[in-house]
Chain A
Amino acid sequence: MTTTRSCIIRSRFAYRFLHSLRKMNQQDKTNSRRVKHAAYASMASVVGSKRAWSRAVLSKIRNRSLLLKKKKKRRRRSSDEFGELRKIVPGGQLMDFYNLLDETADYINSLTSQVHVMKNILNLLST
């Protein structure tokens, strides 16, 4: 079951990511940051708004300009022993520990499939 789900996620992610790459390519605005954002955004939108981390990623990408303007430093539970994990997992600052672990598991899953697909694309493109 998980394998089929990850298969679906992978194919959808590849679809979205390739389209965004193509769009970037046609607009001649390709740089690594944009590609990375595209990868994250497409992964998050594939996973959907069910997961907190994908919501966080999407909102971060959508409100990039706002975030740049504000530059407000929010320090939340930085003294937490799991602060590092919170910093890594998007949206992890607001969660309690149990949900953080849950999100981390899902985030790891999607990251692995993302890396997998991106590697395949790169291989195919560079041949």
Chain B
Amino acid sequence: MDIEIKNDSEPEKRNDQEVSMNYQSPNVSSEWQLNGSNLTNSSMGMVDSFCPTTWDQPTTNSSNLGFCDASVQMDLGPFRAGVDSTLGPNWTPSNAVLKGGMFLPPVPMMLPQSLAQFPADSGFIERAARFSCFSGGNFGDMMNPFSIPESSMNPYYRGLSSMQGPQEVLANNGLKSPQKLQHLSNVAESSKDVSLTHRDTQRSPLKNEKKSENVAKSQDEAKEVAGVSGNESDEAGCSGRQEETEGAGEESCGKNIGSKKRKRGGQDTEPDQMKGAQQPPSEIQKGEQNLNPIASKPGGKNGKQGSQFSDPTKEEYIHVRARRGQATNSHSLAERIRREKISERMKYLQDLVPGCNKVTGKAVMLDEIINYVQSLQRQVEFLSMKLATVNPRLDFDIDGLLAKDILQSRAGPSSSLAFPPDMTMAYSPLHPPQAGLLQSGLPGYGFPSEGFRRAINPHLATTSCGPGDYKDPSSQAPNEWDNELHNIVQMGLNSSVPSSSQDLSGSLPAGQMKAEP
């Protein structure tokens, strides 16, 4: 069975596209709603002809809520492992699609926008509808380049769902007589059509492409219909098999989307043909499968409301994807998320800790990190020891030191990064003369540099110059220094006092002090 082979090869093909396909599901369905609404005039008759069989089918539930459930299941298909007895019929054609899709050259934008031009040939249109059944998966693929972010679509959704209120009510009323329901829903759709024309402008290229594909497929594959319909049962088996892996499940979800589209396509392109009675039984079956989603279209909208509930879970699972052979239960998924987060953190730490780039392996890296932190702590300890010895001798001036500190830190922030703790002893005697000269030269006497500093980093300037304003009061009342309030007060004062005088007053005593020891 070549179809089976192709189905096997499909998951790998699509693995990379799964994400986008998943995201697209709302987009796609909404588009197709639009399409349907555009074409309601022509499609009403067709829908009516199919309705009875649709509603008699065991898989369709007999209540509006039932439709809801069905559509939600289609959305969530991949995430619920076991749900899918009802999905079987939906999936099979989508698998069959793959075969059809292989033969299709993409024909973008070649066809006129209005579908009304197609349906002249009734047999052709029937075929197109049937083949649109087989093209759903391809649509999913073709849509990927055009995928529009979900968020942008959401407003439309809400608008849609709100507009669908009457429709749903109608659907409830008309449940017993499916034809009536379809009529009503069509009416509702047409009303939607009016309100949604602004979306049409956005959507028109996409729609065009889809339609063109429809036609192309129908032309290409007219010959293969019979064989494919015969193969459907086999493919159902295939789809059941594919459910076992999550990727396959998602694929089938994408196919579900495709099948939705397909149904829309069926609506679109079979406008005037009520000749469904003439179709062979297999085709009627297909028509039923196609129409399931159509019938559940109001339900589909409900389903979107329901899927808003299920969105968070979806989001959560979208990030972590099980590949083949990986476990898919929630615990292992959560564990995988956690591991990814941790490894990302580890990467960040790796960038942070010098010399950690070459290290491979988590344990070694942790050792490196631990060593680095310990060395930093030891450095702090050592520096505080040194400061304790230096401190009593000096009655230092804070603002001068601050200015220098800031300048230096901006000049070379990375200089001390790889500073081994043992080096500090050897380093400190060598370092100070140049640094001290440079720093004392720049901030104290050069007004331009001060202005430059302020311009670059006003926040730093205010904090650093704050003490300068308050220098004299602080010498008289030194205890006030610890107050946080003073900082704010000084910042307020800072603007009124000219910067040059404070700088001079701040830097000169520092120079005197430096001469002392």
Contacts and interface: CB of A to CB of B under 8 A. Distances in A.
A and B part of one assembly: yes
B387 A82 contact: no
A117 B405 contact: yes
Q: Which of A14, A82, A127 has the most CB of B within 10 A?
A: A127
B268 to A, nearest CB: 50
Q: Which of A88, A109, A113 has the most CB of B within 10 A?
A: A88
Given A105-B345, A122-B383, A88 B374 contact: yes
A10 B436 CA distance: 18
Interface in B299-325: none
A18 B514 contact: no
B370 A32 contact: no
Contact of A120 (B381, B405, B514): B405
Nearest to A38: B384
A114 B380 contact: yes
Contacts of A123: 428, 431-432, 435-436
B366 A111 contact: no
A15 B409 CA distance: 14
Interface in B471-511: 478, 481-482, 487
A24 interface: yes
B384 A36 contact: yes
Given A8-B459, A14-B401, A108 B376 contact: yes
A112 interface: yes
Nearest to B433: A127
B206 to A, nearest CB: 39
Interface stretch (B187-195, B229-237, B255-263, B413-421): B413-421
A119 B416 CA distance: 9
A25 B404 CA distance: 21
Nearest to B392: A30
Given A115-B379, A117-B405, A124-B436, A105 B352 contact: yes
B384 A39 contact: yes
Interface residues of B, number: 68
A25 B392 contact: yes
A7 B387 contact: no
A98 B341 CA distance: 7
Contact of A118 (B348, B380, B392, B432): B380
B36 to A, nearest CB: 47
B417 A112 contact: yes
A47 to B, nearest CB: 14
Range for the number of chain A residues in contact with chain B:
35 or more
B440 to A, nearest CB: 9
Interface in A58-114: 81-82, 84-85, 88-89, 97-98, 101-102, 104-105, 107-109, 111-114
Nearest to A36: B384
Interface string A25-37: 1101011101110
A102 B345 contact: yes
Interface in B153-207: none
Given A14-B405, A126-B428, A111 B463 contact: no
Given A18-B401, A85-B366, A105-B348, A119 B383 contact: yes
B274 interface: no
A46 B267 CA distance: 66
Nearest to A99: B345
Nearest to A10: B409
A88 B370 contact: yes
A49 interface: no
B406 A7 contact: yes
A115 B416 contact: yes
Given A23-B482, A25-B395, A107-B373, A11 B390 contact: no
A92 B5 CA distance: 54
Contact of A18 (B402, B408, B428): B402
A116 B413 contact: yes
A117 B415 CA distance: 11
Contacts of A55: none
A104 B481 contact: no
A98 B345 CA distance: 7
A30 B404 CA distance: 24
A22 interface: yes
A105 B349 CA distance: 6
B376 A111 contact: yes
Nearest to A87: B370
Contacts of A102: 345
B377 interface: yes
Interface string B439-474: 100000000000000000101100110010000000
A97 B344 CA distance: 12
27 contacts: A11-B405, A11-B409, A15-B464, A18-B402, A19-B482, A30-B388, A30-B392, A35-B388, A36-B380, A36-B381, A40-B380, A88-B370, A105-B345, A107-B373, A108-B349, A113-B409, A115-B419, A116-B413, A119-B416, A119-B419, A120-B405, A122-B390, A123-B432, A125-B391, A125-B396, A125-B401, A126-B517
Interface of A: 3-4, 6-8, 10-12, 14-15, 18-26, 28, 30-32, 34-36, 38-40, 81-82, 84-85, 88-89, 97-98, 101-102, 104-105, 107-109, 111-127
